[in-house]
Amino acid sequence: MSAHVLYPGCLISRRYPGFEAAARFVAKKLGMELVDREGFTCCPDPVWLRSARQDLWLRMAARNLAVAAGQNGDAGSLVALCNGCFETLNTALHLLKTDQKQREQVARFLESQGQTLSTCLQVKHLVQVVYETLGPEELKKHLVRPLEGLTLATHPGCHLTRPSDIARFDDPLNPRALDELVEALGARVLDYPTKSQCCGLPVFVTDRELSLSLAAEKIRAVAQADGLVVTCPSCFQQFETVQMLDRSLPRVPVFYYFELLALALGADPGEIGLDQHRIKADAVLARLGHAKSSAHGVSGARGTKPN
Amino acid sequence: MAVRIDPEFRRLVRERLRDLDFNQCYQCGKCAASCPVFHRSPELLNPRKIIHMAAIGVREVLTQPPLWRCTTCYECVEQCPQTVNFVDLVVALRNLAYEMGMAPRGVQEEVETVLKQGFVYPLTGRIRQVRQRLGLPPAASDLEGVLQTLREVAS
E strands, chain A, in order = 4-7, 34-35, 77-80, 122-125, 151-155, 188-190, 227-230, 254-256
Q: In this complex, do B134 and A196 lie within 8 Å of one another by their Cβ atoms?
A: no
DSSP per-residue string spanning A75-111: --EEEESSHHHHHHHHHHHHHHHH-HHHHHHHHHHHH
| Same domain for A149 and A281 | yes
Interface of B with A in 99-128 (CB under 8 A): 103-104, 106-108, 110-111, 114-115, 118-124, 126-127
Helix (H, G, I), strand (E, B) or coil at B138: coil
DSSP per-residue string spanning A179-210: HHHHHTTT-EEE--TTTTS--SGGGGTT-HHH
| Same domain for A149 and A47 | no
The domain boundary, picked from A100, A125, A150, lies at: A125
The domain boundary, picked from A105, A125, A145, lies at: A125
CATH code, residues B7-99: 1.10.1060.10
Q: In this complex, do A47 and B73 lie within 8 Å of one another by their Cβ atoms?
A: no
Q: In this complex, do A158 and B123 lie within 8 Å of one another by their Cβ atoms?
A: no
Closest-CA distance, B4 to chain A, in angstroms, reads 25
Residue A121 lies in a domain: yes
Domain range annotation of chain B: 7-99, 105-154
pLDDT for res B133: 97
Handedness of CA A307, A191, A163, A35 (dihedral sign): positive
| Same domain for A120 and A201 | no
CA–CA separation, A84 vs A159, rounded Å? 7
CA–CA separation, A84 vs A9, rounded Å? 9
CA-CA distances (angstroms) from residue A212 to A59, A153, A171, A241, A294? 32, 19, 26, 8, 31
CA–CA separation, B16 vs B9, rounded Å? 10
CA-CA distances (angstroms) from residue B151 to A62, A84, B21, B85? 16, 23, 32, 30
Question: B2 and chain A: CB distance < 8 Å anywhere?
Answer: no
For chain A, the residue count is: 307
Helix (H, G, I), strand (E, B) or coil at A7: strand
Of A56, A197, A296, the CB nearest to B36: A197
CA–CA separation, A11 vs A14, rounded Å? 5
Residue A37 lies in a domain: yes
Q: In this complex, do B110 and A48 lie within 8 Å of one another by their Cβ atoms?
A: yes
Model confidence at B5, in pLDDT bands (50, 70, 90)? very high
Question: B140 and chain A: CB distance < 8 Å anywhere?
Answer: no
| Same domain for A81 and A18 | yes
Using an 8 Å Cβ cutoff, are A14 and B130 in contact?
no
Chain A residues closer than 8 Å to B92 by CB: 54
Question: A11 and chain B: CB distance < 8 Å anywhere?
Answer: yes
| Same domain for A181 and A117 | no
pLDDT for res A304: 40
pLDDT for res A306: 41
| Same domain for A182 and A89 | no
Q: State how many domains chain A has.
A: 2
pLDDT for res B1: 61
Please report how many Cα atoms fall inside a 13 Å half-sphere around the Cα of residue B114, on the Cβ side.
Answer: 28
The domain boundary, picked from A68, A92, A125, lies at: A125
Interface of A with B in 49-88 (CB under 8 A): 49-56, 59-60, 63
CA geometry: angle A121, A14, A77, nearest 5 deg: 10
Question: A209 and chain B: CB distance < 8 Å anywhere?
Answer: no
Question: A112 and chain B: CB distance < 8 Å anywhere?
Answer: yes
Interface of B with A in 16-55 (CB under 8 A): 36-37, 40, 44
Give every strand in the sheet of A151-155, ordered side by side.
A188-190, A151-155, A227-230, A254-256
| Same domain for A268 and A141 | yes
DSSP letter at A34 equals E
Q: Any idea what the CATH number is for the domain that residue A143 is in?
A: 3.40.50.11810
The one-letter amino acid at A263: L
| Same domain for A70 and A105 | yes
Average pLDDT over residues B118-144: 92
Chain B residues closer than 8 Å to A43 by CB: none
| Same domain for A148 and A120 | no
| Mean of all residue pLDDT scores within chain B | 94
Strand partners, A77: A122
CA–CA separation, B77 vs B92, rounded Å? 15
The one-letter amino acid at B1: M
| Same domain for A148 and A112 | no
Residue A53 lies in a domain: yes
Give exposure, B33-43, as e/b (b: 16+ Cβ within 10 Å): ebbbbbbbeee
| Same domain for A176 and A33 | no
Chain B residues closer than 8 Å to A27 by CB: none
Residue A240 lies in a domain: yes
Residue A103 lies in a domain: yes
Chain B residues closer than 8 Å to A298 by CB: 126, 129-130, 133
Residues B94-117 pLDDT 10s: 999 999 999 999 999 999 999 999
Mutation for A interface: B46, B111, B124, B142, most A CBs within 10 A? B111
| Same domain for A103 and A157 | no
Full domain range(s) for residue A50? 4-125
Lowest mean pLDDT among B18-22, B28-32, B49-53, B132-136: B18-22
Mutation for B interface: A45, A53, A298, most B CBs within 10 A? A53
Q: In this complex, do B139 and A273 lie within 8 Å of one another by their Cβ atoms?
A: no
Average pLDDT of adjacent 10-residue blocks, chain A of 307 residues: 84 97 98 94 96 96 94 81 98 96 96 92 97 97 97 98 97 97 98 96 97 98 98 98 97 98 97 96 95 49 39
Q: Any idea what the CATH number is for the domain that residue A111 is in?
A: 1.20.1050.140
Give exposure, A165-185, as e/b (b: 16+ Cβ within 10 Å): ebbebbebeebebbbbbbbbb
Residue A131 lies in a domain: no
